Structure 1
């Protein structure tokens, strides 16, 4: 698998089938930390918005920081699995997948939005299209983001099954567009009649005027989902792990937090994401076989 590397404003991780990096022996304390951002929007935008984060972490941890955006969720999971990144901001489901393949990684902090460490998926439709209710989705295409996305695939797909009795690729045609913003833009343009993405990202796209909310309607909101976790390699030196943990839990600068679209971070652990493992079971998804 080959990924283009942009050495200036965008750092996209180059991946290859390889053995575990020897730098990840127990107690590792590297001079450079590679911090991966969730690839849920355009990589250049993510890296640009995260420059204050880079400066904050370099000053706080006294380490060189390399910001990384992989081409997709599966690449990010493999990068964490093979020790190509030290710290990563995962979506809920992509974290569950990563944890199933690399049990040594640790979730240590979760983002807080509007005072809560949970968020929702928003199911949207074109304002002038044929989809007015969830039932109208039957027999039509429905847009999701990345197959490993929590709020732009797993949760809304389970929600459609539970709430409307609609099974993907049986009652409607599943269309994967890769990113949340791609879903919103495709529905706005009428390329697909309806789709789902993170409500937080949707609200951000509206606030930035990246999409026109007047051309879209909300069909429904999902049940609360545990927010995205910050994770790190369990093999890092204990003192470094504590410094990384403290750096995120004490993070308060709005410009720094903008990279995560949250108000702050609180402690979390692996058990908080059992609800997503249960959701996978509803959809008969075998985590070991998800690519």
Structure 2
């Protein structure tokens, strides 16, 4: 990310100032759901502290119970930045195109910038592919999740027909972590969560919900088996509230872009596992997901 750093440095130099105007008195980060609040706080404490040192104001982390809490915080201006899923970004854009700026996305260890919705079941369930989950209880994460609902819901319905007829029951667990624990504990027969699909299944792949839950000791990957995989989904973006001073947005973007080089342990927590970098991304990357979200909302 050195080229990005140089570009941002040059932009800052053109402003003729090294300090930020006193336009903000604090900076609030929203962390999407998918794991318990304390783990989200712990994983991002180093990141919060680094941003606080960079912008020179108090930085707080907020962990709403669901994805919509972060979405509404960004729309309402009470949150200044967040890492979103593509569907969450789509909802914000469809609600208010002027709310946020897209900045960065996660780059995987193989250079790709995408991930998968992974269908899974218990290894002892006898379910080895999604078709064998017919008549079973299936768990999605929550309605605003890209890989936990929007994409797998659409792809599975296309393949299997109406899901409430194929499965005996379709539930929302509340998040990826809840789906993983629920299937592991036998509360659901199968479900979906997200992963980069790289590395070893036994590790929870390189990054994603499986890796986070495995690292935390919440699940044993040997007790689970993959039964389905979506098409590649674009990694969600890091967004910043558009109304922030440009200097603040540049500083936070540059810090994040350099995080894997300067503090890989901290970057691991932000990325939910192993990755290569945080790289620039544009709105155009999410046009397909925005179109899918618009169709979904029109149908409801």
Tell whether the 8 Å contact from 2:91 to 2:290 is kept in structure 1 after alignment.
Answer: no
**Deviating more after overlay: 33-42 vs 241-250:** 241-250
Please show how residues 24-103 of structure 1 align to structure 2 within 5 Å: 29-103=23-97
Please show how residues 1-291 of structure 1 align to structure 2 within 5 Å: 29-104=23-98, 105-114=100-109, 115-162=111-158, 164-172=159-167, 173-199=169-195, 200-252=208-260, 253-257=263-267, 258-261=269-272, 262-280=275-293, 284-286=295-297
Q: Which runs of 4+ in 1 moved over 4 A?
A: none
**Residues in 2 aligned to 1:111 and 1:233: alpha-carbon distance in whole angstroms:** 19
Tell whether the 8 Å contact from 2:34 to 2:178 is kept in structure 1 after alignment.
Answer: no
CA offsets per residue over residues 108-129 of structure 1, 9 Å max, x none?
A: 1111222321111110012222
Across the aligned residues of Structure 1 and Structure 2, the Cα RMSD in angstroms comes to: 2.0
**Residues in 1 aligned to 2:242 and 2:95: alpha-carbon distance in whole angstroms:** 14
Tell whether the 8 Å contact from 1:110 to 1:228 is kept in structure 2 after alignment.
Answer: yes
**TM-score using structure 2 length:** 0.80
Structure 2 unpaired stretches of 5+: 1-20, 196-207
Structure 1 unpaired stretches of 5+: 1-26
CA offsets per residue over residues 136-165 of structure 1, 9 Å max, x none?
A: 222222101111111111111122123x32
**Deviating more after overlay: 242-251 vs 230-239:** 242-251
**Residues in 1 aligned to 2:57 and 2:101: alpha-carbon distance in whole angstroms:** 20
1:230 to partner: Cα distance: 0.6
The alpha-carbon distance between structure 1 residues 137 and 277, as it changes in their structure 2 partners (threshold 3 A), is farther
1:28 to partner: Cα distance: 8.4
DSSP 3-state at the match of 1:175: strand
**TM-score using structure 1 length:** 0.83
Q: How many residues align?
A: 260
**Residues in 2 aligned to 1:144 and 1:92: alpha-carbon distance in whole angstroms:** 16
**Deviating more after overlay: 171-180 vs 129-138:** 129-138
